[in-house]
Amino acid sequence: MSWYFTTRLSGMPYDSFDARNELTLVDTALRASLVRKLKEAKGSAIDSAGLKLFATHVLANAASIVTFNYDDVLDEALRNVAEDTRDPAWHPDGGYGFYCRPSSVCVDDTPRQMNKTHSLVLKLHGSINWRSRLGVAPIRGPEAILHHEEWLRERVGAQQPPLDRIESHLEPDPFVVPPVLVKSELALHPVLRIVWKLAHERLLAARRVVFIGYSMPVTDLASRILFRETLVNRSELQIEVVSLAGDPVDKRRVENAYRSLFDGLDDSHFHFGGARAWIENHVSMENLRVL
């Protein structure tokens, strides 16, 4: 029911002026809570070995990731692996599909350029490390989004401006689109139009698509339209679904959700042992080509 509450918080035509202000305050509080919970989850046990193996596989095969997640756990893993490889490396400056400058540009005018990478992380709903300059217009273009994260600062070195100096120049909320039934924000923000367009292009060109941990909710109309227009009725396309489900009822729910969009998916297309088991079974260091 999260889509219901977040849709309601986006406002209804009959809301009064005072009600809209109250809803805005609640929405801000919920976004702050979301960021806090994501950071707390990242601080708990993370399968670093599995993430490294998956990130290595992604970069080695020039694969791209289309994700609805807000966290930057995989982003960090990709950067850690890419730092030890030759081109094509992955870096937030260009790895999101647009020129995403580091937040340090708020206080440092060092010349920079967008790096080129074959692998992209296309975050269709935004990210907790996407921030905007203080006072930026509500409609966000690519020039308004900066990447702001502790893990990249730690790897670059201590020569950067202090984090508190940068933080005071940023809007407090990260740029994320909450799970609402009608995502008007997706078409409203030019930066998301770029990301969704790239996702459309990459999915159309794909010969193999692996859904990992995605439930294919019927309420996410925008994503279903994206998948229908890029992946449906393509006989040459290989589709795999990776989920963590042991109960027959849960398995059937996942199967029905995907079969409602993709005809012809038999049991061989589904892997219910979870992401780690799929990585271990399908991605091994021996079959990775050298970067």
Per-residue pLDDT tens over the stretch 67-83: 999 999 999 999 988 87
Point out which residues pair with 241 in neighbouring strands: 211, 270
Question: 210 - beta bridge partners?
Answer: 240
pLDDT of 129 reads 95
Distance CA 164, CA 14 (A): 41
pTM for this structure?
A: 0.85
Taking the C-alpha atoms of residue 83 and residue 91, their distance in angstroms, rounded to an integer, is: 9
Which of 121-135, 145-159, 217-231 has the lowest average pLDDT? Answer: 145-159
Q: Is the pLDDT of residue 33 over 90?
A: no
Q: Which whole number is the average pLDDT over 9-36?
A: 71
Best-predicted range by mean pLDDT (62-66, 148-152, 280-284)? 62-66
Instruction: Provide the residue count of the chain.
Output: 291
Which is it for strands 238-242 and 208-212: parallel, antiparallel or unpaired? Answer: parallel
- Across the chain, mean pLDDT equals 84
Please calculate the CA angle 198-201-206 and round it to the nearest 5 degrees: 120
Residue 279 has a pLDDT of 87
